[in-house]
Amino acid sequence: MTFWTKIAGFILRNRYLVLALIIGITAYLVTQTNKIRFSYSEANLLPENHEVNLEYNKFLEIFGEEGNLIILGLKDSTVFEVEKFNAWNELARQLDSTPQVELTVSITDIKKLEADRKKRKFVITPLFEKTPSKQEDIENIKKQLFEKLPFYDNILYNGEGTIQTAIYLKKDIVNTPERADFIEQKLIPLVEKFEEDNNLQVRMSGMPYIRTLNSKNIAEEMLLFVGGALLITAIIFFFFFRSFRATFITLLVVGVGVTWAFGFIGLLGYELTVLTALIPPLIIVIGVPNAVFLINKYQQEVKKHGNQAKSLQRVISKIGNATLMTNITTASGFATFVFVKSQLLREFGILASINIISIFILALLIIPILYSFMPLPQKKHLNHLEKKWMENVVNWMERTVRHHRIAIYITTVVIIILSMSGLALIRVSGSLIEDMPKGKQFYKDIKFFETEFGGIMPLEILIDTKKKKGVMKLSTLKKMEKLIETIETFPELSKPISVNNLVKYSKQAFYKGNPKYYQLPTSQEQSAIFAYTKNSDGNSGMLKNFVDSTGRYARITTFMKDVGTDKMDIIQERLNAVIQKQFPDNKFEVSMTGKALVFLKGTNYLIRNLVISLSLAIFLISIFMAWMFRSLEMILISLIPNMLPLLMTAGLMGFFDIPIKPSTILVFSIAFGISVDDTIHFLAKYRQELLANNWRIKPAVYSALKETGVSMFYTSIVLFFGFLVFTVSSFGGTIALGGLVSVTLLLAMVSNLLLLPSLLLSFEKKIANKKVLKETNFKILPPKEKTEK
């Protein structure tokens, strides 16, 4: 009695105990779903100790959280009518009074800097003290704002007449659920009421706002994917098997699997991100093929001899063994992410591999046990095994392999050449917002602020003068000005904000508010102006956002448009050239940071990790094939049909300009992990047929093709449409992921059913002889019984 026969006997004899155990584990994991948390910050693709992260954390230590700004924008000349103007300012006051807001900066908050000659100090006065009641008052405010206060240019207004209000959230709530509560329950209702009352469209943006709406979108889409995947796989499954019973059992298995997936997310304390949200629908798509192989085998056995106990025992002992190997290889493909240093990928790899093994165990236990309580399938449920069209498809594959192998090889070579051409065109993108739903209003608002104010994603430059009060030296300010001038030459970056703006404003105030003096002071003017600054009230409050308390560190803040890694590399290169020229290493330390830059750097890091994880997956599969066949040729033969679809997918990405980015980078690992399943199922059956056919390769190949062709076709169609569900997403990356994986798996099926058997036949003299098989200790499938020949 083999090991798997014993397993089958144990499962069927103890079916009540097994079901009770499954119910108990499911109930426990349901309780863990309460611990699921949404991610309230951008995905950090870099390890904690990476240089880019260390620089970012240093910046946060000095200046605090930089992603706490929400912006409201208006581009409508009627806002300068008395009633609407006052309503706009009242909206800012209402938001300022909420406990989650640190401060707001709007037109009503504008302060003018003026020089008090008698006391030799600067004083701060409001732009207007009384609520304007006449249009004349507002025209005066407009004139001062747009013509006499360049300090606020691109902060509260632009040259096109667009105005904005800046809302700074308290830094300790930015990465907490309280942020989402404020935005959904207070900010959005207040803005919507203002829009309705004043017939104006308010644009909203800023990283806290974008992240909140993005998280909400992810949650909604995850439920859509789960429902869609269940529906589409159920329809296809029923179409193939024409059995409500088989469809119900399959849905029950994947339903429990999805419950376990959510439970594991909560149990392990992982956050719900764009990647972890893919796990539940992924489990449905991967779980259904397990059911296809198990149910198909059960029905084949019932049709063969009509003995239910014998059929169920063989389902577990034969298909269970092969399916275990396919699930282990799939899980191994995902588990390779565990070895990368990116926490985001590591969590995805751990969850995916655990749940893939879980769904295999659930299918292996639930399907035979439930069938054991049911009567034998009726003849109409077995008719699909004799479908003429399916038989014609399998016969066509056999004829092609038998008579047209040269054509298969020529086609393969042509595909490789074309794919390599496409691969050369592939580009890398690390944009934070490229994948965001382009039909959603918040994406349109992002583009609005890019056009009007130059972007919403902060890019920070941290300058360490290595001396206390080193920032306020005129020589340092002039060096910063050179860097600022370079930043302003890039259309992808907004006008920067720094201490220089405040120093220029001080000079303008010193010269009675004349805007032509909005510039850095000369060395002769410096001492007089700085003397006024030292005597000023609230000076430290104005400076604290630009210079640290010791005067050693300064920041230059600019905002980026939606740029990819290629453009950002050019920008960085030019800025670094200016930095090296203006800030010598022995006197200064300058670093570029900010969430957007961290994300861009993380993308490049992720690509290197993809190469490592994919190479590791290929290595693991190679070891497995070597263990099965003790043949180097067999390793190559088994890998080629799986590498070809990956190469074709990369070529398609190049030709259709689908960039490699965090969302599409998983295509290769997912597709390779799943497509290898077909290879293992085919080779497992091929090996069994070799033993049954006295090591004659040709009959073994054709028998394996006939028996596995149907199941492989079914599973590939299920997988194709299952992953196609992701294309209904509003996230560009998820759409690309679904479409690319679907196409890759379809190509993998064709490759495994045409190229793989062709290679086996062409290299028959060099592989899998009797000696090799006798030396192999591991038996993936037991020999066929004599009665089955």
- The range of the structural domain enclosing residue 338 comes to 1-35+216-383
The rounded distance, in Å, linking the Cα atoms of 669 and 334 is: 7
Q: Identify whether the C-beta of residue 548 lies closer than 8 Å to the C-beta of residue 540.
A: no
Kindly state whether residues 394 and 271 are assigned to the same domain. Answer: no
Q: Identify whether the C-beta of residue 609 lies closer than 8 Å to the C-beta of residue 314.
A: no
* Range with top average pLDDT, 80-94, 213-227, 232-246, 739-753: 80-94
Q: Is residue 488 part of a domain?
A: no
Q: What is the distance between the terminal CA atoms of the chain, rounded to a whole angstrom?
A: 20
pLDDT at 406 over 80: yes
For residue 547, list its beta bridge partners: 554
Please state which of the ranges 448-457, 497-506, 626-635 shows the lowest mean pLDDT. 626-635
Kindly state whether residues 372 and 412 are assigned to the same domain. Answer: no
Q: Identify whether the C-beta of residue 689 lies closer than 8 Å to the C-beta of residue 700.
A: yes
Kindly state whether residues 406 and 294 are assigned to the same domain. Answer: no
The rounded distance, in Å, linking the Cα atoms of 241 and 2 is: 31
| Count of alpha carbons within 13 angstroms of residue 341, beta-carbon side | 9
Burial class (CB in 10 A: 0-12, 13-18, 19+), 774: exposed
Q: How far is CA 341 from CA 43, 45, 50, 346, 354, in A?
A: 14, 9, 10, 7, 19
Angle between helix 499-510 and 523-535 (nearest 10): 90
Boundary-marking domain end, from 327, 351, 383: 383
Kindly indicate the confidence band of residue 359, based on its pLDDT and cuts at 50, 70 and 90.
very high
Q: Identify whether the C-beta of residue 749 lies closer than 8 Å to the C-beta of residue 716.
A: yes
Q: Is residue 346 part of a domain?
A: yes
Kindly state whether residues 327 and 413 are assigned to the same domain. Answer: no
Q: Is residue 713 part of a domain?
A: yes
Boundary-marking domain end, from 331, 362, 383: 383
pLDDT reported for residue 383: 66
Kindly indicate the confidence band of residue 688, based on its pLDDT and cuts at 50, 70 and 90.
confident
pLDDT reported for residue 2: 73
pLDDT reported for residue 190: 94
Please state which of the ranges 162-171, 572-581, 587-596, 618-627 shows the lowest mean pLDDT. 618-627
| CATH code of the domain covering residue 274 | 1.20.1640.10
The rounded distance, in Å, linking the Cα atoms of 244 and 679 is: 30
pLDDT reported for residue 536: 61
Rounded average pLDDT over 302-313:
84
Kindly state whether residues 649 and 716 are assigned to the same domain. Answer: yes
Rounded average pLDDT over 225-233:
84
pLDDT reported for residue 309: 85
Boundary-marking domain end, from 367, 383, 399: 383
Cβ partners under 8 Å of residue 784, min gap 6: 688, 689, 691, 692
Q: Is residue 474 part of a domain?
A: no
pLDDT at 42 over 70: no
- The H-assigned helical ranges of 630-665 are 632-655
- Tell me how many domains the chain contains: 2
Choose among 519, 510, 454, 516: nearest CA to 481. 519
pLDDT reported for residue 314: 84
Cβ partners under 8 Å of residue 53, min gap 6: 44, 46, 47, 598
- The H-assigned helical ranges of 172-278 are 177-182, 188-198, 207-241, 244-267
User: What is the SS3 assignment for 689?
Assistant: helix
The rounded distance, in Å, linking the Cα atoms of 494 and 157 is: 13
pLDDT at 57 over 60: yes
Burial class (CB in 10 A: 0-12, 13-18, 19+), 133: exposed
User: What is the SS3 assignment for 769?
Assistant: coil
Q: Is residue 605 part of a domain?
A: no
Kindly state whether residues 393 and 342 are assigned to the same domain. Answer: no
Based on its alpha-carbon atoms, the radius of gyration of the chain, rounded to whole angstroms, reads 33
Rounded average pLDDT over 30-42:
79
Kindly state whether residues 394 and 413 are assigned to the same domain. Answer: yes
pLDDT at 687 over 60: yes
Choose among 671, 673, 675, 660: nearest CA to 609. 660
**64-95 pLDDT, tens digit each:** 766 788 999 999 989 999 999 999 999 999 99
Rounded average pLDDT over 182-193:
93
The rounded distance, in Å, linking the Cα atoms of 349 and 344 is: 9
Of the two residues 761 and 562, the one the predictor is more confident about is 761
Rounded average pLDDT over 645-673:
82
Burial class (CB in 10 A: 0-12, 13-18, 19+), 585: exposed
Kindly state whether residues 694 and 672 are assigned to the same domain. Answer: yes
Kindly state whether residues 231 and 351 are assigned to the same domain. Answer: yes
Kindly state whether residues 288 and 417 are assigned to the same domain. Answer: no
Kindly state whether residues 663 and 728 are assigned to the same domain. Answer: yes
DSSP 203: E
Choose among 302, 283, 286: nearest CA to 241. 302
Burial class (CB in 10 A: 0-12, 13-18, 19+), 789: exposed
pLDDT at 767 over 60: no
Q: How far is CA 156 from CA 42, 105, 146, 207, in A?
A: 26, 8, 10, 18
DSSP 781: S
Rounded average pLDDT over 662-683:
76
Q: How far is CA 256 from CA 41, 358, 721, in A?
A: 30, 10, 21
Of the two residues 637 and 136, the one the predictor is more confident about is 136
High-pLDDT (> 70) share of the chain, %: 91
pLDDT at 283 over 60: yes
Rounded average pLDDT over 253-281:
88
* Range with top average pLDDT, 256-260, 537-541, 626-630: 256-260
Kindly state whether residues 251 and 347 are assigned to the same domain. Answer: yes
pLDDT at 153 over 90: no
* Range with top average pLDDT, 410-414, 547-551, 673-677, 713-717: 410-414
pLDDT averaged over every residue in the chain: 83
pLDDT at 479 over 90: yes
Of the two residues 527 and 351, the one the predictor is more confident about is 351
Choose among 729, 224, 236: nearest CA to 440. 729
